[in-house]
Amino acid sequence: MTEKEILKGLSDSVVSGDDSQCKIWAQKAIDSGMSAYRAIMEGCGAGMAVCSDRYEKGEMYVPEILMSARAMYGAIDLLKPHIEKDAGGEAEGTCVICVVEGDVHDIGKNLVRIMVGASGVNMVDLGRDVTIEEIVKKAKETKAELVSLSTLMTTTMPGMKKTIEQLQSAGIRDKVKVMIGGAPITQQFADKIGADATGPDAREAVRIAERLIKQLRSK
């Protein structure tokens, strides 16, 4: 069986919300020696991208999205232990991650948490619909070097700007880097609100996180 067939099996199983089939394809990926990272991103992640697109077009609804997400997480539970960590496997920095207040869409955030965490960063996941006060408080408590904010809704994007402003008011903005992401987020918006970086997906988030932490430590 080819890697292409396995990736398609994972993707199709996520789209159909077939939990058992998704786990079967995940195990096939493991047995074949395929990179678990690739299986998650190009298999499960690709499937959820299809779901998101169909949801936006009104071709899928919330119950179906939830079934797809459950199927995806079942596969990820099997694949996650096989993701290779950086040399040494020690945590390199701390990142507070969440979906901003008013938004409960956390699939993208969860993928970023898994991927960046697998690279060795200690991920402090606050969940979804998180207040600005909670974010700032946790960033101070954990002495986080990175804050990762996610949203899928344009109506909650202003919360990202307010979070950065509150980090400034709390006197820790120069001690923490901020990366933002989600379907409506653009580089132009990131620049406008003073975020340090944004990226298109969880794969890029890994590179961004490593780069931002290195920048902060080189000061």
DSSP 23-71: HHHHHHHHHHT--HHHIIIIIIHHHHHHHHHHHHTTSS-HHHHHHHHHH
Q: What ranges make up the beta strands (E) of the chain?
A: 94-100, 122-130, 146-150, 177-181, 197-198
What's residue 84's pLDDT?
63
CA–CA gap between residue 104 and residue 82 (Å, rounded): 28
Residues with Cβ within 8 Å of residue 194, at least 6 apart in sequence: 161, 164, 178
Question: Is the confidence at residue 1, as pLDDT, over 90?
Answer: no
- ∠ CA 169-174-178, nearest 5°, is 90
What's residue 21's pLDDT?
97
Q: What is the mean pLDDT of residues 146-157?
A: 95
pLDDT tens-digit readout, 39-83: 988 899 888 878 877 877 889 887 888 898 889 889 988 998 887
Confidence of residue 204 (pLDDT cuts 50, 70, 90): confident
Kindly list the strands in the beta sheet with 177-181, ordered across the sheet, starting from the edge strand earlier in the chain.
122-130, 94-100, 146-150, 177-181, 197-198
- 3-class state of residue 86 by DSSP: coil
- 3-class state of residue 147 by DSSP: strand
- 3-class state of residue 79 by DSSP: helix
**What letter represents residue 52's amino acid?**
S
What's residue 87's pLDDT?
38
Confidence of residue 111 (pLDDT cuts 50, 70, 90): confident
**What residues pair up with 94 in beta bridges, in sequence order?**
122
Q: What is the mean pLDDT of residues 30-38?
A: 92
- Report the range out of 13-27, 34-48, 49-63, 112-126 with the highest average pLDDT: 13-27
Outline which parts of the chain fall under CATH 1.10.1240.10: 3-82
Outline which parts of the chain fall under CATH 3.40.50.280: 94-217
Say if domain 94-217 classifies as CATH 2.70.98.40.
no
Q: What is the mean pLDDT of residues 2-8?
A: 96
Question: Is the confidence at residue 137, as pLDDT, over 80?
Answer: yes
Q: What is the mean pLDDT of residues 174-196?
A: 96
What's residue 110's pLDDT?
85
Percent of the chain with pLDDT over 90: 61
- State the pTM of this model: 0.71
Question: Higher model confidence: residue 164 or residue 86?
Answer: 164
Q: What is the mean pLDDT of residues 2-7?
A: 96
Q: What topology does CATH give the domain 3-82?
A: 1.10.1240
**What letter represents residue 152's amino acid?**
L
